[in-house]
């Protein structure tokens, strides 16, 4: 009977050992699984960090390229503006080259012939050519207001004279023509103004 008890205890002890071993094995597996999960989690974090670092590097690269593009655009704008100012009058200068050539021809012809009338006609032709170009291509209109009422917005009185033939201030003589560019007076006419005589 004592042997049976010893066998029973041994059997129970072995069972307990098995259970303890199984529990230890289960715990080891759980620990191994946790360790595997931790490694997997670490790998995921490393992978995510790498993705974010790549994203940041890409954004920095794009930002630097955008900054360079913006700077190049500013330089182009500055250069375009400088060229616009530098060559703003190119078209009008080109328009005046032919009349300048004609002036040279008129002078050469006058020197050869010593003919004042030919010179005069040549100068009148060149003047007409210049005025036509400026009127047609640039909107410039000369005005000579002789005999017109004095208008201080368009005329500059260089002298005033009393005249019993006028009832209001009137331009009696034009020293210099005025010029209007696209409706704006760019040079007032310089004039002599006749004003009514005051009764004494």
Residues 130, 151, single domain; the answer is no
What's the pLDDT score for residue 123?
Answer: 86
91-110: average pLDDT:
85
Residues 54, 119, single domain; the answer is no
Residues 104, 39, single domain; the answer is no
Residue holding tokens 């005999």? 147
13-25: average pLDDT:
71
Residues 6, 83, single domain; the answer is yes
Residues 56, 101, single domain; the answer is no
CA–CA distance, 66 with 78 (Å, rounded to integer): 18
Q: Residue 194: which domain range?
A: 141-200
For the four alpha carbons of 16, 21, 26 and 30, in that order, the dihedral sign comes to: positive
Cβ pair 133, 155 in contact under 8 A? no
pLDDT, greater one: 6 or 88? 88
Per the structure block, which two tokens stand in for 101?
């050539």
Residue 98 has pLDDT above 70, yes or no: yes
Residues 82, 100, single domain; the answer is no
Out of 138, 157, 173, pick the residue that ends a domain.
Answer: 138
Residues 128, 190, single domain; the answer is no
Whole-model pTM: value is: 0.55
Residue 199's closest CA among 162, 171, 169, 170?
A: 162
Average pLDDT, the chain: 85
Cβ pair 174, 146 in contact under 8 A? yes
pLDDT, greater one: 36 or 177? 177
Residues of the chain above pLDDT 70, percent: 84
- Band the pLDDT of 115: cuts 50, 70, 90: confident
Residues 161, 113, single domain; the answer is no
Out of 59, 87, 115, pick the residue that ends a domain.
Answer: 87
Give the C-alpha distances (Å, rounded to integers) separating 197 from 162, 169, 192. Answer: 5, 10, 15
Residues 63, 116, single domain; the answer is no
């Amino acid at each position: 009977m004592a042997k049976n008890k010893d066998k029973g205890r041994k059997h129970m002890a072995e069972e307990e050992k098995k259970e303890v071993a199984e529990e230890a094995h289960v715990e080891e597996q759980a620990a191994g699984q946790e360790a595997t999960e931790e490694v997997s989690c670490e790998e995921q974090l490393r992978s995510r960090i790498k993705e974010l670092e790549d994203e940041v590097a890409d954004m920095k690269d794009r930002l630097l390229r955008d900054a360079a593009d913006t700077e190049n655009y500013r330089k182009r704008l500055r250069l375009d503006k400088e060229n616009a100012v530098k060559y703003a009058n190119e078209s009008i200068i080109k328009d005046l080259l032919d009349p300048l050539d004609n002036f040279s021809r008129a002078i050469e012809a006058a020197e050869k012939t010593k003919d004042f009338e030919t010179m005069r006609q040549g100068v009148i032709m060149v003047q007409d050519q210049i005025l036509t170009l400026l009127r047609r291509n640039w909107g410039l209109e000369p005005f000579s207001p002789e005999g017109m009422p004095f208008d201080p917005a368009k005329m500059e009185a260089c002298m005033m004279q009393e005249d019993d033939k006028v009832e209001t201030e009137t331009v009696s003589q034009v020293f210099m023509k005025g010029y209007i560019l696209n409706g704006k007076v760019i040079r007032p006419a310089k004039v002599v103004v006749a004003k009514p005589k005051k009764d004494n």
